[in-house]
Amino acid sequence: MSDVRAITILFADISGSTRLFETRGDVEARSLCSQVLNALTLITKKNSGGVVKTIGDEIMATFPTPKDALFAAVEMQKRVAGDLMWSRDHIGIRIGLHHGDALLEADGDVYGDAVNTAARMAQLAKREQIVTTSSTVAEVSNASSFRIRSLGEAMVKGKLAPVDIVDLLWQEDTSNVTMV
């Protein structure tokens, strides 16, 4: 039986994994990717989310609220960027997410326009970036706890009208710090 409800879908993709397989070999690269995906899974669960599936070097997760997903996305980026071993191997992630109505299947899979939009946001994101729709951020009651930057409108495959997208800034703001 299927259920339609508002949910936040997040895709996180390991950036640099192709190079990793080339330089480290299949077994070691797969082990590193598994470590990253396991870390992302733990963060998902910690933030009230659930992993729908992993697809190669990508994770698809759902969250009950956009706020849960935004906090998880920031924590994911900080976790990956903060690991010295992963940094040494130039491992990073790109994240896209979107909140909207989705069809939840009995087997745990999720379908619909919101899923497609979230996947497109992940495709638009660059390494170490979190991209979402402005409508997702608008769903958060206290959005001031997040720093966002408008990326303008983008034509998204499968959508008739352009989508207003934003960059969720997760790195510490050091613009007022003097480096010595």
For range 54-82, the mean pLDDT: 95
Q: Are 33 and 17 in contact (CB under 8 A)?
A: yes
Is residue 172 predicted with pLDDT exceeding 80?
Answer: no
For range 35-40, the mean pLDDT: 96
Question: Phi and psi of 160, rounded to 5°?
Answer: -75, -40
Give residue-wise pLDDT tens across range 88-144: 888 999 999 999 999 999 888 999 999 999 999 999 999 999 999 999 998 887 766
Q: Are 61 and 49 in contact (CB under 8 A)?
A: yes
The vertex-75 CA angle with 59 and 166, nearest 5°, equals 80
Report the 10 Å Cβ neighbour count for 158: 9
Give residue-wise pLDDT tens across range 69-79: 999 999 999 99
For range 23-43, the mean pLDDT: 94
Q: What is the pLDDT of residue 179?
A: 46
- pLDDT band at residue 175 using 50, 70 and 90 as cut-offs: low
- pLDDT band at residue 20 using 50, 70 and 90 as cut-offs: confident
Structure tokens at 38: 């396991």
CA dihedral (141, 145, 149, 151) positive or negative: negative
